[in-house]
Amino acid sequence: MLSKSIALLLSGASLSALNAPILAQDADPALQDVIIVTGSRIDAATKLRVSPDAAPVLGNDITLLTARTPGGARVGNGELSGQMQFRGLFGERLNLRVDGQRFASGGPNLMDPIFHYAPSPLVKAVVIDRGVSPVSAGPGLAGGANAIFKRLAYSDDDAATFGYDFSLSGRSVNESLATGGVIGASTRDWRFNLLGSWEEGDDTEFGDGTIAGTAFERGVYGFSSGLRTDFGEITLDLRRQNTGPSGNPPFPMDIIYFDTDFARLGYSNSFGAATFKASLHYTDVAHLMNNFSQRPAPPAMRQRATLADATTRGLDASLAFPAFGGALTLGLDGDVAEHDVTITNPNNLDFFVSPFPEVEIDRYGGFLEWRGALAEINAELGLRIDQNSFEAGDATAGPALPMGPRNLAAGFNNAETSGDEATVDVVARVWSNPVGGLSWRAMLAHKQQMPGYIQRFGWLPINASGGLADGNIYIGDLTLEPETALIVEAGFDYASAKAYLRPTGFVRQIDNYIQGTPFDNTVGVIDSPVEMIAGMNGDPTPLRWANVDARLYGFDFDAGYNFDGPLRIDGVLNMVRGERRDIDDNLYRVAPPNLTLGLTWESAEWSATLEGRAVGDQDKVSRTNNELKTGAYAVFSLYGDWQVRDGVRLSAGVENLFDEVYRDHLSGYNRNGFGDVPVGERVPGAGRGGFVRVSFSR
């Protein structure tokens, strides 16, 4: 239960300092989530925080946690390859950051979505931007979140204080283990902590057997440091992540490794009432995947190993100062992302091809953001302009490739692959001060999103879709236009000592929405080289990325009520519809309506929750993407939490109490051909299993 996790989170020390309880005088301690909901007015209206250490252990991917929030859902492409969905949108359309850092994923199918780099033992909180991200957080079409790592804060002492924050958890359903955290020391002038985590698991069991290809392993190590000098504060964060062999049933290949380095150097200083902040950051992803070592191997001729690299270099600087009765922030930022992908056959050195050759995407942007209040109304107004440019290198195709692909490569190499485009984001939010516990809010935004490199440069008909996992073969379009969204939402946050309710209604009208459309007017008739090659690769009806018109709208809320005695109920409801406006079709992979309800018995030191999650059927499916409908289901869990003593917490529970076999609509279709899930069927959810987690901090 999200609200539950918020309550638990607050009972820990982690956020209490950030959220001075404005309702403390009349709030019941049993309703502490009220405090976080309305505690810091600015945060409450624009952000939502959730913490892995407070939620039940349902897996290692923090997108399982963000899926428990209003508007949230999870696109399941593998145990470590979950994508956050927010109000029907996912993938690169969301502005996702790991510890404040923006970077490009390495896998052309997003086997490493951004939150692949935020293992739950290292994450202190995920801050979800309500509605859309502020323009100061960078571009992004609709919605955003930042996974903030645990770190040792500066103390208020001159002598070094030691500290740590660890967790260790296990799940029986896949015999998995997740452990990690931070340890270090700090004074008022410096802070330093090491960080590390290790996670591994076997194949997940479910009611009908084993879900093959769901084993995984992932390790992270690094440090975070900061120094306060007379010339400002300097911070340095360095981190390496090694993801080992991990299965991806919905893709044609599995992860062999991701070896990824992160570096960030930060600087900040205050001059009177003004604050200057700057950072330089770097991310380098090296990735290998194949179709033969973690699933039944195809014949030698059809074995493939694909190498993919992505490097991001970025910088940002901002100056915030009082202006016009509020705070104005001016900022400049930019990044250069390079991608390169090579498909090989390890049994044939003459077989190699570069479907996304030496792609470079540059962006330089500037923004203005003002935050302030007029009487009882608070506002955040932002404008961002980005100049984007893109180019690709020459495609290569080895001598073992047939003439067809080699001709397509030559065609791509003769085409104009570079270009540039400006995008404009405008965000206006207003919200009222709470009166009688009720605060109104409204938002209007114009957001733009550049086409992804897969969508623009995909010249070779293959199964790379940026993580859609719909089984279709896709082909790019060099002339794609940016997506443009007009977003309106309104709602209120209500909180009393007894109850809270935070509903939001929204509409997202998107012009030039990019999705696959039939390759030509004669679908099924193989009358082009692209269709011929696609046919040889298993899909004679490939899709071409195109600008279409779309709309998403819906309604979501979280709510809770505190009964007399130690009993409370919390719930989250989500409803979203996604449809094409230009033809009669639905958008692909949109979460069905769902309701999560948790009944909690809560005492000072411990709590126990019985949770039910009911998910409706989804028959509003995309014909274009050959999407299959799913039926309704309900899953129940029981979990508890015990504050053993100061700094030691134990959680344990049973998920999927009745061992229900269920298929989440956003789960990918299995393609790996072994285990107990037939090929073409959606990968089911985990069966009944127990979990336990211990957390230690000081």
User: Is the Cβ–Cβ distance between 656 and 638 less than 8 Å?
Assistant: no
By CB under 5 A, residue 147 contacts Cu ion: no
- Residue closer to Cu ion by CB (options 304, 429) is 304
Question: Based on CB atoms, which residue is closest to Cu ion, 2 or 289?
Answer: 289
Instruction: Tell which positions 285-304 bind Cu ion, by CB under 5 A.
Output: 289
The beta strands (E) that lie in 272-347 are given as 274-290, 305-323, 326-345
Smallest distance, Å, CB 252 to Cu ion? Answer: 10
What burial class does residue 186 get, using C-beta atoms within 10 Å of its C-beta: 0-12 exposed, 13-18 middle, 19+ buried? buried
CB of 686 to Cu ion, least distance (A): 23
- What is the Cα–Cα distance from 9 to 36, expressed in whole angstroms? 9
Q: Which two tokens stand for residue 220?
A: 């992270």
CB closer to Cu ion, 255 vs 480 = 255
170 with 122: CB under 8 angstroms? no
Which CB sits closer to Cu ion, 107 or 357? Answer: 107
The amino acid that residue 154 corresponds to is Y
Told to check if 67 binds Cu ion by CB under 5 A, we report no
Residues with Cβ within 8 Å of 564's Cβ and at least 6 positions away in sequence, in order, are none
- Does 343 participate in binding Cu ion (rule CB under 5 A)? no
104 binds Cu ion (CB under 5 A): no
Compute the least distance from the CB of residue 260 to Cu ion, in Å.
13
The piece of 99-107, 200-208, 273-281, 442-450 that touches Cu ion (CB under 5 A) is 99-107
Side chain identity, residue 2: L
Kindly state the smallest distance separating residue 373's Cβ from Cu ion, in Å: 48
Residue 108 CB, nearest approach to Cu ion (Å): 7
- The least distance separating Cu ion from the CB of residue 96, rounded to whole angstroms, comes to 18
Neighbours of 349 (CB within 10 A): 11
CB 462, CB 72: distance < 8 Å: no
Contact with Cu ion (CB under 5 A) among 64, 80, 98, 111: 111
Q: Least Å distance between CB 107 and Cu ion?
A: 4
CB of 469 to Cu ion, least distance (A): 12
Q: How far apart are CA 122 and CA 695, in angstroms?
A: 12
Residue among 306 and 656 whose Cβ is closer to Cu ion: 306
Among 107, 201, 437, 542, binds Cu ion (CB under 5 A): 107
Cα–Cα distance for residue pair 318/152, rounded to 1 Å: 25
- The CA R_g of the chain, rounded to the nearest whole Å, is 25
Are 509 and 662 within 8 A, CB to CB? no
Between helix 403-414 and helix 529-536 the angle, nearest 10°, is 130
The closest of 121, 48, 59, 108 to 697, measured between CA atoms, is 121
Binding-site size for Cu ion (CB under 5 A) equals 3
Distance, in Å, from the CA atom of 315 to the CA atom of 44, rounded to the nearest integer, reads: 29
**Rule CB under 5 A: which of 597-616 touch Cu ion?**
none
Closer CB to Cu ion, 461 or 466, in the complex? 466
Pick the closer one to Cu ion by CB: 112 or 483: 112
Rank residues 15 and 462 by Cβ distance to Cu ion and give the closer one. 462
Considering the rule CB under 5 A, would residue 106 count as an interface residue with Cu ion?
Answer: no
Of 34-42, 105-113, 571-579, 619-627, the window that binds Cu ion (rule: CB under 5 A) is 105-113
355 near Cu ion (CB under 5 A): no
With CB under 5 A as the contact rule, which of the stretches 106-114, 326-334, 368-376, 490-498 interacts with Cu ion?
106-114
Q: Is 78 in the site for Cu ion (CB under 5 A)?
A: no
Distance (Å, rounded) from C-alpha 238 to C-alpha 261?
A: 8
CB of 81 to Cu ion, least distance (A): 9
Closer residue to Cu ion, CB minimum distance, 98 or 111 = 111
Instruction: Give the count of beta carbons closer than 10 Å to the beta carbon of residue 363.
Output: 20
Residue closer to Cu ion (CB basis): 178 or 289: 289
Distance from C-alpha of 326 to C-alpha of 379, rounded to nearest angstrom: 9
**What residues from 554 to 593 belong to the interface with Cu ion (CB under 5 A)?**
none
Three-class SS state of 404: helix
Report the residue number, 33 or 470, with the smaller CB distance to Cu ion. 470
The DSSP secondary-structure symbol of 55 reads S
- How many CB atoms are closer than 10 A to CB 623? 12
Cα(369)–Cα(44) distance, integer angstroms = 18
Which DSSP state fits 19? S
Instruction: Rank residues 257 and 492 by Cβ distance to Cu ion and give the closer one.
Output: 257
Candidates 265-273, 282-290, 530-538, 560-568 — which segment interacts with Cu ion by CB under 5 A? 282-290
Stretch that binds Cu ion, among 284-292, 372-380, 525-533, 610-618 (CB under 5 A): 284-292
Q: What is the identity of the amino acid at 422?
A: A
Q: Is 467 in the site for Cu ion (CB under 5 A)?
A: no
Does 307 help bind Cu ion (rule: CB under 5 A)? no
Instruction: Give min distance, CB of 105 to Cu ion, in A.
Output: 9
341 contributes a contact to Cu ion by CB under 5 A = no
Residue type at position 75: V
Least distance to Cu ion from the beta carbon of 289, Å?
Answer: 4
Distance CA 658, CA 582 (A): 44
Q: Write down the least CB distance from residue 404 to Cu ion, Å.
A: 24
Q: How far apart are CA 538 and CA 272, in angstroms?
A: 65
Q: Quick one: tokens of 227?
A: 């120094």
Instruction: Report the residue number, 233 or 259, with the smaller CB distance to Cu ion.
Output: 259
Q: Which residue has tokens 């995309």?
A: 622
Site for Cu ion, rule CB under 5 A: 107, 111, 289
